[in-house]
Structure 1
Amino acid sequence: MPIQPACAYAIWRPVGILDRLTCIMEGNRVSEFAINDRVANYGDGLFTTMAVRQGRIALFSRHVKRLCDNAERLAIPIDRTTLITQLRQAALRCDTGTLKLLISAGVGGRGYARTQDSGAGFHFSFHQPPSQYADWRQNGISIGVSEIRLGHQPVLAGLKHTNRLEQVLIKNTMPSNVDDVVVCDTEQCIVEASAANLFWRVGKTWYTADLALSGVAGVMREFVLEQLAAQGLRCEVGRYHIAGLTNANAMCVTNALMQVVPVHTWWYSSQRYPFNIAPVQQLADVCQSAYQSEYDDN
C-alpha cells in the first residue's frame, strides 16, 4: 500500500526480540513508515515515556497535560480526546512495563517548512523498565558532571521534544565510573541530569533548577515539587552555579520511570562529596504514598 500524506497513529508491536512498526493511516493498517516523516528528518516532534502497571499509566493526567501543552507550543495539531483514547488502548496492550509515545509533526515539507496538511503521527513502543532502577531507588547512585553544556533556547526550554542531540552527546561522553551526571548550561548553571531532573538540599531547604532557558520539565519533577509543598518543606527554584552543590547535604534525581533516586556520591573537580541518602528516602516514601493516586483511574 502506498504511503499516505498523513499518519493518524502508529503502534510498535513486539515480535520476538525485534519490534515491528505497524502504521495506521486513516483507519487502514500499512507496514511502511514514511521516509519523509518530520520526526525522522528534523526531530520535529515530542515524546514521553510512561510507567504502566496492569494497563494503567502512572502520572497519567500529568503526561496528558504536558503532551497537549508541548504540542501546542510546537504547533502540532492533536486532539486531547483522541490522545487519551490512544494512550489507554496502548497501555492495555502494554499491561505492565514502559510505554513510550512519540508524536510526530506528520510528513512532508521541504527546507524545514511544514505543509499545511502535515498532520500528526502517534507512534507507540513498549519496553521493559530499566533493570537497575529498583536497586538505584534503594541504594542510591554516584553522579559526576558532564563536559557537555546545554545551550539556551527559551522557545524550546521545558519541552520534551525529539531533537535530543545534546543528550546523545551527554550519554556518549559520560564517565564510566558514575551512574549519571549533572548537566549545566553554557554559564555553568545547573539544569538537570542526563535523563532526569535534579533536586538537592542545603540545610533544610530543597533546590531545583529553573528551566526557562533549557532542560526538560519532567512530570515527576512537577509531582515532587507539589509533594514538597504539601509536606511544608521549602523548595527554591532558580538559577544556581554548579559550585553551589558543594554545600549540599542531600541530592536526588527524578523522572517518571525511576521516580525518586538518591545520590550517595557526587564527583566534582576530582573531589568526592558523599551524601546522606536518608532525607531522600524519606521524601521518596512520602512521594510513593501519593504516587498511587496518580495512576489513570479509567
Structure 2
Amino acid sequence: MQSWVDGQPADAIALKSRGLAYGDGLFETILVKAGQPLLLELHLQRLAEGCRRLAITADPALVRSELCAYAGLMGEGVLKLILTRGDSQRGYAVDPLSSARRILQANPAASYPQANALEGIKLFPCTTRLAEQPLLAGLKHLNRLEQVLARAEWRDSEHAEGLMLDTSGRLIEGVYSNLFLVKDGALLTADLSRCGVAGVMRAALLEAAAREGIAVRIGDCVLQDLEQADEVFVCNSVYGIWPVRAFTSLNWSAGPLTRKLQRIARVLLDV
C-alpha cells in the first residue's frame, strides 16, 4: 500500500524536511487489525504529549481522521505514523510559519516465533548506553541512533531483544520494548524521567495493574533488582508480552503474574 504524506498518496518527502535533517519529529508504530488501529487512544495521547513538549503544532482531529482512514484501507499490518515539524531552510532555528507534516506508512504484520511468547526470550547485554536528557525522556522522537547502535551489537538468533542501561548504570528498557520485573507479586519498572521511551503497552499494563490491584513501583532499577527478580518480561504494542528466560548467567521461568498480564495484553491486541 502506498504511503500518504499530508493525506495524499506519495512516495517521497522534501529534501528540506526537518525530520530528515535533524530527527525533528515524533512517530508511533501501531498494530492494525480488521482495519482498526489498536490502542489508538494511548498512541494519540503520547503523540499529543510529544507535540506539546517539542512545540510542534498539529491538528489532532486531522491526525486521527487520516490515521483511521489509512488503517481502514490497510486492513491488517503495522502502521507507522511520522509527524515532523515540516520543512525549513538550513540551520536549527525553527520557522514559525512551517507546518507539521504527516506521514503514514503501511508495513506487513510482524512475524515473531511463537516460542518468544510461550517459552520466553534471552536478552542481550547491550554496551550502548542511553544518554540522560529529561527534555526528551519518554518521547518517541525520531532520533533513534542509540537503538540503532544497540541493535547492531548482536546478529545471532539466540537473542530476541537487548537490555539497555543509562549512562549511570540504571536498567531502563529493551532496544524496542519496555522492561518489567516481578518481585513478591509486585511490578517494578524503570522511571523514564531521564531517558527511555514511555511505551504504549507499558501504559496499558500499568492501567491494568491498577484495575487488578497489583502493586507497582516505578523507580530506579539496577542490576541487583534484576538478579533478585522472580519474573522478568518485556512488552510493546505490536507483540504484547514476552517473558524473559535468560540474561547472561541469570535464568527465570514465566511466572503467574507474567502469564496473567500476557493474557490481558492478548485481549488488548487481539492476538
What is the CA distance between 1:23 and its match in structure 2?
3.9
Return the alpha-carbon distance in structure 2 between the equivalents of residues 204 and 189 of structure 1. 22
Greater than 4 Å deviation, 4+ residue runs? 27-32
* Aligned-pair identity (%): 31
2:122 paired residue number: 142
2:79 paired residue number: 99
2:184 paired residue number: 203
Q: 1:111 is matched with which residue: 91, 98, 109? A: 91
What is the CA distance between 1:178 and its match in structure 2?
1.6
Q: Does residue 257 of structure 1 match 2:238?
A: yes
Q: Does residue 86 of structure 1 match 2:66?
A: yes
Return the alpha-carbon distance in structure 1 between the equivalents of residues 101 and 113 of structure 2. 30
2:152 paired residue number: 172
2:167 paired residue number: 186
Q: 1:153 is matched with which residue: 133, 136, 139? A: 133
Matched pairs, number? 268
Q: 2:254 is matched with which residue: 261, 277, 289? A: 277
Q: Which amino acid aligns with 1:56?
A: Q
What stretches of structure 2 of length at least 5 have no aligned partner?
none
1:164-210 Cα distance to aligned partner (Å, 9 max, x none): 11110010113634211211001110110010100011222210000
1:208-238 Cα distance to aligned partner (Å, 9 max, x none): 0000000000111000011112111111100
- Change in 2 beyond 3 A, CA 1:172/1:31: closer
3-state SS, counterpart of residue 146 of structure 2: helix
- Change in 2 beyond 3 A, CA 1:28/1:214: closer
TM-score normalized by the length of structure 1: 0.85
1:57-103 Cα distance to aligned partner (Å, 9 max, x none): 11011111111111111111111111110110110121111101011
Q: Does residue 288 of structure 1 match 2:269?
A: no
What is the CA distance between 1:109 and its match in structure 2?
3.1
Q: 2:26 is matched with which residue: 25, 30, 46? A: 46
What is the CA distance between 1:138 and its match in structure 2?
2.1
TM-score normalized by the length of structure 2: 0.93
What is the CA distance between 1:128 and its match in structure 2?
1.6
1:123 paired residue number: 103
Return the alpha-carbon distance in structure 1 between the equivalents of residues 230 and 238 of structure 2. 25
The structure in which a higher percent of residues are strand is 1
Q: Which amino acid aligns with 1:275?
A: W
What stretches of structure 1 of length at least 5 have no aligned partner?
1-11, 14-20, 294-298
Return the alpha-carbon distance in structure 1 between the equivalents of residues 212 and 37 of structure 2. 25
What is the CA distance between 1:22 and its match in structure 2?
5.3
What is the CA distance between 1:283 and its match in structure 2?
1.9
Q: Is the 8 A contact 2:126 2:150 kept in 1?
A: yes
What is the CA distance between 1:31 and its match in structure 2?
5.8
Q: 2:195 is matched with which residue: 208, 211, 214? A: 214
The Cα RMSD (Å) is: 1.9
- Change in 2 beyond 3 A, CA 1:55/1:28: closer
1:220-268 Cα distance to aligned partner (Å, 9 max, x none): 100001111211111110012123200011111111101111111121x
Q: Which amino acid aligns with 1:85?
A: S
